[in-house]
Amino acid sequence: MVSAATEVQPVLGPLEHEPRRALIVRHLCLLAPAVAAVALWAWSVPGIQLRAMNDLGLVSVLPWPTWLAFVLLTLGFIICWRRADQATWLLLVHVLLLIVMLYGLPALASHQPSGPVVYRHAGITADLTQNRVVDPKIDAYFNWPGFFMGLGTLVKLAGVPSALSFTTWATVAFNLLFLPPLLLVARALTRDPRLVWGTVWVFYAANWINQDYLAPQSFAYLLYLTIMGLLLTYLRPSGTDLERGGRLLRRFRQVLRVRAAEAQVPPVSRSTVAGILAVVVLLYAVIVASHQLTPFAILIGVLALVALGECTARGLPLLMGVMLTLWVTFVARGYLAGHFTHLVSGVGDITGATSANLTARISGSHLHLLVIRERLLLSGGLWLLALLGGIRRFRSRYADHAAAALALTPLLLFPLQAYGGEMLLRIYFFMLPFVAFFATAASCRPGRRSRPRAPTRRTSWRSGPSAPARGTSWWSGPSAPACVPACGTSWWSGPSTPACGPRAPACGPSRWSGPRAPACGTSWGSGPSAPACPPPSGAASPPQPSASPLPPSWPRACPHSTGTSASTTSPPASTPRSAFSTHMPGPVPRLRSSSRTCRGSTRSMSCITPCHWPR
């Protein structure tokens, strides 16, 4: 015995560590394209000559190793993406490298802030820090000073001379901060890891509008993603909650075929839900005090979620509307007093909004027009992929109504105002996470979800998860019973079904779930208990099964279990009880009588479970 154990030990040692070593080697091989991409990118950045840049922008002076680095990084991501369920951290590494390499490239090449607007924001922050007074008459920014007050606090805590110290790498920082709420949103929409990480990759690869620098809209967009992630993850109803609401709301959901979402709502207590709702309200209050447009986008999106039944906080849109109205009426009244006519005249002017957002922007040199056409082609192609992905998901019976609503509702902002010719850019930014979700779904093959079948004829819907066999009814248990009862009997109302062998006796100790057996000669009761029936001494045994055939006068089909009338006649009163046992092995309990009458006879009989008598 001892020698056998010592002989086995050398064999078990290498086999225990071999799978782990193979896994590490496989992961290192998957990281090889990313490592090569980082090496090429770092080697090519010092060779960028900004003085040779033309109207194409930074892409006109990028050397070929930079382009090759992005190709290798994308190739490595696709390889890991196909194995998304095996190593999630590899996808996270690729996404982090994409953020640094793509959004950090201008900072490394120029060492300057992106755009002249950041100097204005730094000046507003310095004024608030030095004077400590918010004067709404100076500029429109002072009517929404929340972001600048927070930035001034950060400047004081960091001990830097001004906010310009944060402007160079602000784009990289904001995109890194976008990642956690973006993952929260994607995981609330689907359980497929490929679709989750594909959404994240498409979002960062298609974000070309440059609205992520040190500005109020970047900060408000971060809170926008956080609010949507919290609502979709924790304040989303389960399948049964979709039946709540008024009649008009339920009819609206029925027309849109709103169903339960693919991702399950995590089980949380009521106190946790109340805390999350308080956080959402607090974040929205910060957004109302920081940016002009983002509160309206959130309000429209939350209102659409509540209308579709995808948000349990039904009073949240009303609360948000009250908060927004109070701020615009009392705090931002200085801006409204001087621009009220201009703001009101632009509402509903679709022609003016189209001219300011499209026609006026398609101008410039031929190289700049090339960039504009490339952006339009990229946006149109992404929207087309999203349309195809949405059709594919809905045809596969996935309930993506929340994602579709949040992808389409930002379009309602377009006729409200031209917003300085940037309204279409902001709409694209609000739509991007959900458009990226559907665009990624166009390249993922979704598994077809099963749809519950309609009940067969002469059966009714009950609480079982699947359709019953033809001629039987839905059983009250969590799953279908193992066998079908004999004709003329019904499924028993207890929490479990007796075995398909011997039936329960008509008198005496029974298999019923109650604590006591029913009275002698009576039917099985559906209540919590039944009267006791001790078998009398010397009582005769129940009649044994008879081999006599079924009488011709008996009905060929049993009436419906839930109907008010039967479809056949009752059996003759002279029929012996032994005929029952022809198709029912063992002692048979007497059928429960009912006050309902069956067609063709006025005699009271049991309307039993729909089935077919054997011919």
Question: Do residue 192 and residue 297 come from a single domain?
Answer: yes
Please give the average per-residue pLDDT across 213-229, as a whole number: 95
- pLDDT (0 to 100) of residue 134: 85
In sequence order, what are the beta bridge partners of 604? 597
- pLDDT (0 to 100) of residue 547: 44
In sequence order, what are the beta bridge partners of 597? 604
Across 232-241, 535-544, 559-568, 575-584, the highest mean pLDDT is recorded for 232-241
What average pLDDT is seen over the chain?
Answer: 74
Question: Do residue 287 and residue 356 come from a single domain?
Answer: yes
Q: Calculate what percentage of the chain has a pLDDT beyond 90.
A: 37
- pLDDT (0 to 100) of residue 288: 96
**179 found inside a domain:** yes
Q: How far is CA 136 from CA 256, 384, 413, 568, in A?
A: 45, 43, 25, 84
Band of residue 263 on the pLDDT scale cut at 50, 70, 90? low
Q: Residue 336 pLDDT more than 70?
A: yes
- pLDDT (0 to 100) of residue 333: 82
| Of 441, 476, 491, the domain-final residue | 441
- Tokens coding 55: 């109207």
- Cα-based torsion angle of the residue sequence 297, 299, 303, 306 in order, rounded to the nearest 10 degrees: 110
The shares of helix, strand and coil residues in the chain, as percent rounded to the nearest 5, are 55, 0, 45
- Tokens coding 53: 């840049």
**257 found inside a domain:** yes
Q: How many domains does the chain have?
A: 2
pTM score, whole prediction? 0.69
Question: Do residue 67 and residue 178 come from a single domain?
Answer: no
Q: What H or E segment, with its residue span, contains residue 278?
A: helix 270-288
pLDDT tens, residue by residue, 466-496: 444 444 444 444 444 444 444 444 444 444 4
**82 found inside a domain:** yes
pLDDT tens, residue by residue, 37-73: 999 999 999 889 888 889 888 899 999 999 999 999 9
| 542 against 444, higher pLDDT | 444
3-state SS of 172-233?
HHHHHHHHHHHHHHHHHHCCCHHHHHHHHHHHHHCCCCCCCCCCHHHHHHHHHHHHHHHHHH
Question: Do residue 191 and residue 313 come from a single domain?
Answer: yes
Q: Residue 302 pLDDT more than 90?
A: yes
Identify the CA nearest to 140 among candidates 331, 387, 379.
331
- pLDDT (0 to 100) of residue 253: 60
What does residue 112 show for φ and ψ, rounded to 5 degrees?
A: -130, 155
**515 found inside a domain:** no
Residue 346 burial class via C-beta count within 10 angstroms: exposed 0-12, middle 13-18, buried 19 and up: middle
Burial track 169-194 (b if 16+ CB lie within 10 A, e otherwise) = bbbbbbbebbbebbbbbbbbbbebbb
**403 found inside a domain:** yes
pLDDT tens, residue by residue, 389-424: 999 888 888 878 899 999 999 999 988 877 877 889
Q: Are 176 and 115 in contact (CB under 8 A)?
A: no
- Tokens coding 412: 């309602």
What does residue 557 show for φ and ψ, rounded to 5 degrees?
A: -145, 150
Question: Do residue 279 and residue 358 come from a single domain?
Answer: yes
Across 266-275, 347-356, 367-376, 380-389, the highest mean pLDDT is recorded for 380-389
Q: Which residues contact 25 (CB under 8 A, 6 or more apart)?
A: none
| Of 441, 461, 476, the domain-final residue | 441
- Tokens coding 141: 């920014």
Band of residue 8 on the pLDDT scale cut at 50, 70, 90? very low
- pLDDT (0 to 100) of residue 259: 59
**63 found inside a domain:** yes
Band of residue 260 on the pLDDT scale cut at 50, 70, 90? low
| Of 84, 111, 138, the domain-final residue | 111
CA 567/CA 557 separation, integer angstroms: 8
Question: Do residue 324 and residue 230 come from a single domain?
Answer: yes
- pLDDT (0 to 100) of residue 432: 96
Q: What is the residue type of 416?
A: L
Band of residue 258 on the pLDDT scale cut at 50, 70, 90? low
Question: Do residue 323 and residue 188 come from a single domain?
Answer: yes
Q: Residue 292 pLDDT more than 60?
A: yes
- pLDDT (0 to 100) of residue 257: 60
- pLDDT (0 to 100) of residue 293: 92
Q: Which residues contact 487 (CB under 8 A, 6 or more apart)?
A: 558, 583, 611, 612, 613, 614
Question: Do residue 107 and residue 225 come from a single domain?
Answer: no
pLDDT tens, residue by residue, 533-565: 455 555 454 555 444 444 444 444 444 444 444
CA 28/CA 108 separation, integer angstroms: 28
**567 found inside a domain:** no
- Tokens coding 278: 């308080």
| 449 against 380, higher pLDDT | 380
Please give the average per-residue pLDDT across 88-103, as a whole number: 94
- pLDDT (0 to 100) of residue 404: 93
In sequence order, what are the beta bridge partners of 612? 557
Range of the domain at 258: 169-441
Question: Do residue 393 and residue 320 come from a single domain?
Answer: yes
**499 found inside a domain:** no
Question: Do residue 84 and residue 173 come from a single domain?
Answer: no
Q: What angle separates helix 170-189 from helix 216-234, to the nearest 10 degrees?
A: 20
- pLDDT (0 to 100) of residue 5: 45
- pLDDT (0 to 100) of residue 332: 85
Q: Residue 500 pLDDT more than 60?
A: no
Question: Do residue 176 and residue 102 come from a single domain?
Answer: no
Band of residue 199 on the pLDDT scale cut at 50, 70, 90? very high
| 144 against 27, higher pLDDT | 144
Q: Are 606 and 592 in contact (CB under 8 A)?
A: yes
Question: Do residue 199 and residue 297 come from a single domain?
Answer: yes
- pLDDT (0 to 100) of residue 111: 83
- Tokens coding 454: 């309609």
Other C-beta atoms closer than 10 Å to the C-beta of 466 total 10
Region of poorest pLDDT, from 193-202, 229-238, 544-553: 544-553
In sequence order, what are the beta bridge partners of 557? 612
- pLDDT (0 to 100) of residue 350: 81
CA 1/CA 22 separation, integer angstroms: 33
CA count, 13 A, side-chain hemisphere, 126: 12
Q: Are 235 and 311 in contact (CB under 8 A)?
A: yes
Identify the CA nearest to 195 among candidates 399, 406, 387, 389.
389
Residue 290 sits at the vertex; the CA angle it makes with 339 and 350, to the nearest 5 degrees, is: 45
